[in-house]
Chain A
Amino acid sequence: MKPEKTKLNFQNLNLLLICILPVIFLFFGIKKQSELHEKLMIQGIAIDLNHENNNNNYKLTVQAYDFKNPEDKNEPKIRVIESIGNTVSEALENLKKITGLTPLYSQNKIIIFSEELAKNGIIKIIDFFSRYYENRPSVKLRIAQNNAGDFLKIIPENNNKIIKASEIRDLVDEKSDTNILDFEKEVKTPISDACLMLLEKNSQNLIKCESTSIFNYDKLIKIMDKNNSIAIQILKNSPKPGIYVFDYNKNLISCKIETPKTKIKAKLNQENNLPEFDIFIKLNANLFESEQNFENIKSIEINIEKELNNNLKLLCEKVINESTKENCDLFKFGKILRNSNPKYFKSIEKDWKSKILPNIKYNIKINSKISMIGMNDN
């Protein structure tokens, strides 16, 4: 049987589709796409306010890999490039004009804002980064003491190699770190606020990242020191707040605090119609070192636990006091109150941060457990 010649043969049409169209159409899709090595693989971005020129607001320092001119076969060349622009996106655009390479943001590890910039508000910049697809929402954010750009070009004295952006990122435990999405989540909600870790540099060019800077909306308002940061981490339920050193019978004891479980409950005081919060904290602490040898472990353990509870309670109270005084709702009191008393909260929602928050009352109960004592000398 021969197929009728008059009819259009769809078998051939299928064949055409299978073989030719894909190839032709896909080739039409080719746009000038820069190859991997023609890209400037950005590792870290530091943003400062520009004081030199009035026309340009921002000064950007970028740490990036340049694969076109590698140093040797195994290591790409790390370049630190500075550019200025009226906006951050303009400054980033200028990178191409400076280097001739297309910037690639998807491998970016960290964005550092200078303290000065953060005090003026960073929401516009965050907006840009969260809008731009290539920028991943998992990029970590930091505030830098003084100049942000300096942190991306540090060369330690004992080593000739520049400190990589990924190394700066890894100073903070990943689970308790804040990325763009987390920050945006808190800032874009009118009843909660965010905090970011602060980068500090000592005279020997060593970086440390212990303190926390707290924000009201998108503006930096206060910097909390190391111990306060631990309290913040505990209250924020971070899995690894860090090592806390305190005084016990005139001896320094250091504890590694782990897996705090913080529960905050809101209730309304019927008399003055103000919210009250009960904060229960349960945490594990590992005794790391002490200057004293313990004899009766059991009783001392209980004593240390008590001392630790007291110390941490004072710290937490201090942190909550200081932050609420600045109208900063770091610990989601607003959200908790809204979820438990929606009608009441709706009536005070507008005044929540300005009037109610600084006056809230709270009770903190801390239950710490020292699980690893280490050794005794008996």
Chain B
Amino acid sequence: MNQKIISVPQLITLFMINRLVISMTFGSSSINNHNIWDCIISSLLVFIITFILIIPMMILFKNNENLDITDINEKILGKFGKIISVIYAFYFLLSCTYTLSNFKIFIESVINPPISFLVLLTSIIIFACYSAAKGINAIARAGAIILFLTFFLLIMIYISLFKLIDFTNFRPFFYENYNSLTDGIFFMLSRMSCIPAMGMLLPMCFGNIKKGIITWNFLVLFLMSSMIFLVTGVLGELSDIKLFPIYTATSAAKISKFENLDSLYLGLWTAGIFLKLSLFLNLSSECLRKSFGRKSNKIIIFLLGIILIITNMFVKISNIMSGIFDTRFLFFMTIFTAFLVPLILLIIKKISKFKQEPEI
């Protein structure tokens, strides 16, 4: 049983922060191709696909309003369900590792600040553990304020970039080929960690969830497409070459004397990463806590934090790691946790109902 502790707007806040963190690292390197502009169509298609992907999760949740995915696993699958819950925990941890490795790549390749990255990483993880221990409620409330600040800054950046748009930069769609469309969908879907997170968060949520999810999806569509639009308009073909084109575009933004808004944006991005980490650490620890039947999840959170630190130290070294860090693996994991597991659960439930009914 879960308490209804967060409201639908707070749920959207949590998901939007997650999306903002991801969108920042969106670039040609993440889609293996050289045409970001086509991804605006991908974001539209992802918008539709997301609705389809959500369906099993929503039906599952509608039937068991107060149970989260781990409870349902255990209810339907019994002991085997606990293993599935552990897979969910692993997925959430994986998502954290992806975010952190992206952060690492970004910091080391673009900014290379004169600070020890290891210390930065460790302090982010330790503090994220702390806020994960503080609970979903605290993360959602803090997230709302950070999201407000980020949106405020984003709007300022948007306005200043809008003047720099050159309309000749907008190529005809699919000028070269359709690869970037599929790659874009692949990228955006593999980062759709919000749907598995829904399995944990929806039971805690009060309010009109359907409306909330539709709003969220629209906001994601708007965010992604507006970013792609601005970046292509400002940078043109350069957006296909730059490692992090969205960052490059923000670095061109300026408001009167204050030129380098990108640093401020990076600061808020760090805060976003921090909150995303705390959310997913919390969810991961909740999954583990429930499957191991412990009372407090604090020890688990700190253990997970240590695992995160260690994995991020050795990301580059180990061959196994590079296998896990393949985007295809993440894509599979996302589809598995977001769509397949709820679907299988639904089917098993239907079958068991059919079996039960003649007995009655």
Interface residues of A, Cβ cutoff 8 Å to B? 10, 13-14, 17-18, 21-22, 25-26, 28-29, 31, 33, 106, 133, 136-138, 181, 184-185, 188-189, 332, 335-336, 338-339, 342, 346
Contact = CB atoms under 8 A, between A and B. Distances in A.
Given A137-B251, A335-B169, 11 more contacts: A17-B126, A22-B127, A25-B126, A26-B119, A26-B123, A31-B116, A137-B248, A138-B254, A185-B237, A188-B241, A342-B175
A138 B252 contact: yes
B237 A137 contact: no
B171 interface: yes
A29 B170 contact: no
B177 to A, nearest CB: 11
Interface in B95-128: 110-116, 119-120, 122-123, 126-127
Contacts of B112: 133
B259 A25 contact: no
What's the dominant secondary structure at chain A's contact region? helix
Contact of B172 (A25, A189, A342): A342
Contacts of A29: 115-116, 119-120, 123
Nearest to B240: A188
A338 B171 contact: yes
B236 interface: yes
14 contacts: A13-B298, A21-B126, A25-B122, A26-B119, A106-B260, A137-B252, A138-B252, A185-B236, A185-B237, A332-B168, A338-B171, A339-B172, A342-B171, A342-B175
Contacts of B127: 22
Contacts of A342: 171-172, 175
B170 A339 contact: yes
Interface string B123-136: 10011001001000
A87 B114 CA distance: 23
Contacts of B235: 181, 185
A202 to B, nearest CB: 32
Contacts of B130: 14, 17-18
The 4 closest A-B pairs by CB, nearest first: A29-B119, A342-B172, A335-B168, A189-B237
A18 B169 CA distance: 50
B126 A336 contact: no
A339 B237 CA distance: 13
A197 to B, nearest CB: 19
What's the dominant secondary structure at chain B's contact region? helix
Contacts of B115: 29, 31
Contact of A31 (B114, B170, B248, B298): B114
Interface string B206-238: 000000000000000000000000000001111
A339 B123 contact: no
A28 B251 contact: no
A106 B238 CA distance: 22
Given A17-B130, A22-B123, A181 B252 contact: yes
B322 interface: no
A2 to B, nearest CB: 19
Given A185-B235, A188-B238, A25 B248 contact: no
B312 to A, nearest CB: 15
Contact of B116 (A22, A28, A184, A336): A28
A334 to B, nearest CB: 9
Contacts of B252: 137-138, 181
B2 interface: no
A133 B110 CA distance: 6
A143 B269 CA distance: 38
B142 to A, nearest CB: 15
B9 to A, nearest CB: 28
Contacts of B122: 25
Contacts of A336: 168
Contacts of A21: 126
Contacts of A338: 171-172, 175
B233 to A, nearest CB: 11
Contacts of B248: 137, 181
B64 interface: no
Nearest to B302: A13
The residue among B110, B237, B296 with the most chain A CB atoms within 10 A of its own CB is B237
